[in-house]
Amino acid sequence: MFANVKMKSLMLLVLTLALVGWGVKTAGAATQAATGVWLYNTGISISVVNMTDYTLKWKSTVQTYGKDNDVGPFYDGYGNFYSSVDPYRTKTWRSDSSSSISPSNWSGDLTFTLDTVKDGYSVQIHFVQQSPANALAGDGCWVSLRAANSSSSLYSTSTNAWVNNRWATPTTDNKMHNVMTLISDAFVVSLYSPDNKNITLIFQQNYSSTYGSDVNIWGGYKNDWVDNDGYSVPGQ
Amino acid sequence: MNWKRCHVFLVIFLVSCLVAVISPFAGATVPDKTTTNVDLVQYGGSAGSVVVSLVNMTPYTIKYDYVDNNNQLQDQTDQNRNTKKSFMFAPVGIPGAGSSPIPGVPVDSDGNPVSPNNTTHPFNFILSWDDQNALVENSSIFWTVQNVSYTTSTGAASTKDVTVGLWFNRQNPDKNLFSSFFAGLVSVLKVGLEFAAVIEDGGEGIIPWVCALLATEEFAEGTVEFAEENTQEDNGPKMYLSAMAVPTGICAQGIGQGCSPSYWNMSDPYDGDELPDDAVATQWATADGGYDGSELVVTLQLLRGSMAGNSYLGTIPIATITVWTQEWFLASQLASLTQSKMEVCPGGRKIYSLLKKWKRPGWLQLAQLIRKYDPRRKQLLSQIVQALQAKRPLTGNQKAFLTDLAAALHHDTNFHPPQTPPKGSTTFPQGRESRNIEQTQMLSTGGTTNVR
C-alpha cells in the first residue's frame, strides 16, 4: 500500500515535471530549420530605417514558393523593385493579403549595402522556408539578420555579448529571436519584430566628433527575447 | 560595536554593492502626467516603431536617466515564447546611456559657440513596443541636462541638473492632424545650427543629417505640399507625444491640465486651438517649472510618415527633440524673424537691421545680452517674440523693451564690433564636408573601422 502510494507519487511528480517542461519549452528545438523570427504568410511588412549619412541600397535573391503571383519583398504588383532609401529616411514594403502578391514562403536573401561604404558593413535579411508543424496555419518562413560576407566588420558571435555598450545577438544558433543585432564601431544594425508580422531593419551610424568616436556615448539594455505563442511554429 | 551589529552593517553594505552593480544607471522620479496642450499627435506607425532624433543645442552635457518604473526601458531576455509580453525597447541603444555623456555645444570663455563645431549632431535611435500581452499605453524616457546655469529666486547665479523627458501615450486618440508650425520651427533650427557654428549661411545642403533635420528635400516641394503630406490620415494608430523639461516648481507633483508648460507654435496667425500640430516649443514659467526647470526650451518636430510611401517623408514616424538654452533659442528666434514681422516698431526694425548686417557675430552678441537678463525679463522677451511671430500687436511696454534691447545691441556692436571671419575663410562647412569625405574614404577602402 505504502509502496503503491510512493510509486503513484513518483509518477505524479514525473508527470508534473514533464508537463512543466512542456509548458516552458523555449526556442531552439532540433527541428527548427533556421534562426530568427517565424513569419506566417499573413499581411507582413518589412521596413528599412536608414539613420546614416549614406544611401542604403539592396538587392534580392529571394525565391518564392507557393502562390503563383508571389513576387517577394520590395516588388509591387507591377513587377517594379524598390531598392534604396535615402539617408535619414525610411521605406516600408507591405504584403497585401487581399491581392495576389501576398507572400507565401521564401528562401534567399535581401542584401543591404551602404552606398560608398566598404562591403564589410553589408548585411542580409536571410529567409528560410519551412512548413509549419500544423499545416492548417499555412506556410511561412524564418527571417534572420546576418553579415553579408565572411570578412564583415560587424560583430557576430555564437552567444550574446556586449559590444560597444550594446547587446549583440547570435545569428546562426537555429533559435527563435524577436530581435537580432550586429554591432561594429561604425554602425549598429538591428532586425526586429515586436509582433511576428512587421519586421524592421535599422542601420544606425556612430558619428565622430572633435572628442572622437561616439561609441562610448551609447548604451542600452540586453535585448534578446522571444514572444510568439503561435501553436504551430515549426520546431517549437 | 558588537559582532552582531557588524554583521548587519556588512549585509547592508553587500546588498548596497549588489544593487549598485545590478543597476546600471541612477534612478529618477517619474512625474505624473496627463495629456496637455504640448502633446502632439504622432502616428504610432503601422510597423509599431518611432525614430527619435535627439539634438543638444546647449553647452551642457546630457546623460540618459534610468527610471525604475513599469513600461520604461529595461533588459528583455525572456526566451519563453509562450509568455506574452508588453514593454518598450530600443534595439540600437540609447544616447547618453554609455560611459560618456552627450557632449554640449563647445563654447569659448564668453560662453559663445566655438567655430567650427564638429561636435554637435543628432543622436538617432528607434523605439518600439511589444504589445502582445497588452497595449503599452504609457511609456517615457528621460535624460539629465547636467549643471544647467540659472538664476535663483534671490538673483544668485547657480547650477543644477535639469531632467528632460519624452512621453508616449499610445491610446490612439481620435484627433485631426495639423501641420503649420513645422516650417517655422525649422527656420529657427537653421539659425540655431548657424549660431552653433555647425553650418554657415547657405551651408545647410552640405551635411546629410542637416538636410534631414531641416527637411530640405521635403520643403523643396513647398510648404503647402509638405503640410498635405504630413497630415495624411493613413499611417496606423496614433499616439500623443510630448517632450519637455521636468518641472521643479509647483508643477513638480504632476504635469497635466492646469499645470502645463507655456508653449509657442510659431504660427502665423497664432491660434492655440490648432494644437495638436506637428511642431511645438515648450518652456516652463518659473513658478510652475522652477527657476532651474524654466531655463531650458525643448522643441519637438514630427515627420509623421505615410503609408503611401512618399519617397522623402518616409513611412516610419520620426520625432526630433532639440534641447536649447533659453537665450540661444530666443536669439535664434529673433534672428529667424523676417523683416515684415520686425516692422511693428522702431526697436524691432533696428534689431532686424543689426542682425542682418552682422549675421552670426551679431546673434552671439544678442545672446550675450539676453543671458544677462533676469528670469522676468527673459520671460517678457519670450512673450514679445511670440507676439512678433504671430503678428499680434505689441503693448507699449513691449515696444519700449525692444527699443532698449536694440540700443544695447547697437552699443555692443558699435563699441565692440563682432569679429567677422575674413572673406573666403568659411572654414567649417568645408571642414565638415572634408571630414565626411575622409570618413567615407576610410570606410570605403577598408582601413580602420573607426569613424574619425
Interface pTM, i.e. ipTM: 0.85
Q: What DSSP designation does A120 have?
A: G
A51 touches chain B (CB under 8 A): yes
Report the percentage of chain A scoring pLDDT > 90: 41
Q: What is the pLDDT of residue A15?
A: 46
Q: Which residue of A has its CA nearest to B74?
A: A221
Residue type, B329: F
Judge: A120–B81 Cβ closer than 8 Å, yes or no.
Answer: no
Judge: A91–B84 Cβ closer than 8 Å, yes or no.
Answer: no
Q: What DSSP designation does B440 have?
A: H
Contacts of A178 in chain B (CB under 8 A): 130
d(CA A174, CA A30): 8
Q: What is the pLDDT of residue B433?
A: 35
Q: What is the pLDDT of residue B11?
A: 52
Q: Which of residues 35-94 of B touch A (CB under 8 A)?
A: 46-49, 51, 64, 73-85, 89-94
User: Does residue A156 contact residue A173 with C-beta atoms inside 8 Å?
Assistant: no
Residue of A137 and A178 predicted with greater confidence:
A178
Q: What is the pLDDT of residue B267?
A: 52
Residues 6+ apart with CB under 8 A from B237: B43, B44, B170, B172
Per-residue pLDDT at A232 exceeds 80: no
pTM of the model: 0.86
Judge: A181–B129 Cβ closer than 8 Å, yes or no.
Answer: no
SS3 per residue for B285-350: CHHHHHHHHCCEEEEEEEECCCCCCCCCCCCCCEEEEEEEEHHHHHHHHHHHCCHHHHCCCHHHHH
Q: What is the pLDDT of residue A46?
A: 93
The per-residue pLDDT string of chain B (452 residues; one tens digit each, 9 = 90 and over) reads 455 555 555 554 454 444 444 444 455 666 789 988 889 988 887 678 999 999 999 999 999 998 767 678 999 999 999 999 999 999 999 999 999 999 999 999 989 999 999 999 999 999 999 999 999 999 999 999 999 999 998 989 999 999 999 999 998 988 888 888 898 899 999 999 999 999 987 777 789 999 999 998 888 878 888 888 898 888 788 999 999 999 999 999 899 988 989 887 655 444 555 566 899 999 999 999 999 999 999 999 999 988 876 667 888 999 999 999 999 999 999 999 888 888 889 999 999 999 988 888 899 999 999 999 998 999 899 989 988 887 888 999 999 999 999 999 998 877 665 554 434 333 333 333 333 333 333 333 333 222 21
Q: What is the pLDDT of residue B309?
A: 65
Q: Which residue of B has its CA nearest to A151?
A: B446
Judge: A221–B305 Cβ closer than 8 Å, yes or no.
Answer: no
Q: Which of B22, B53, B81 should be substituted to probe chain A, the one whose Cβ sees the most A Cβ atoms within 10 Å?
A: B81
B11 touches chain A (CB under 8 A): no
Q: What is the pLDDT of residue B441?
A: 38
Q: Which of A76, A88, A184 should be substituted to probe chain B, the one whose Cβ sees the most B Cβ atoms within 10 Å?
A: A88
Q: What is the pLDDT of residue B445?
A: 35
What size, in residues, is chain B? 452
d(CA B345, CA B25): 51
Distance from CA of A194 to the nearest CA of B (A): 5
User: Does residue B313 contact residue A91 with C-beta atoms inside 8 Å?
Assistant: no
Candidate from A89, A190, A226 with C-beta closest to B314:
A89
A43 touches chain B (CB under 8 A): no
| Nearest alpha-carbon partner for B154 in B332, B375, B334, B366 | B375
Q: Which of residues 186-245 of B touch A (CB under 8 A)?
A: 208-209, 211-213, 217
Judge: B315–A176 Cβ closer than 8 Å, yes or no.
Answer: no
Judge: B98–A216 Cβ closer than 8 Å, yes or no.
Answer: yes
Cis, bond preceding B269 (omega within 30 deg of 0): yes
Contacts of A213 in chain B (CB under 8 A): 450-452
If you count residue pairs, one on A and one on B, with CB atoms under 8 Å apart, how many are there? 238
Three-class DSSP category at B122: coil
User: Does residue A133 contact residue A146 with C-beta atoms inside 8 Å?
Assistant: no
A126 touches chain B (CB under 8 A): no
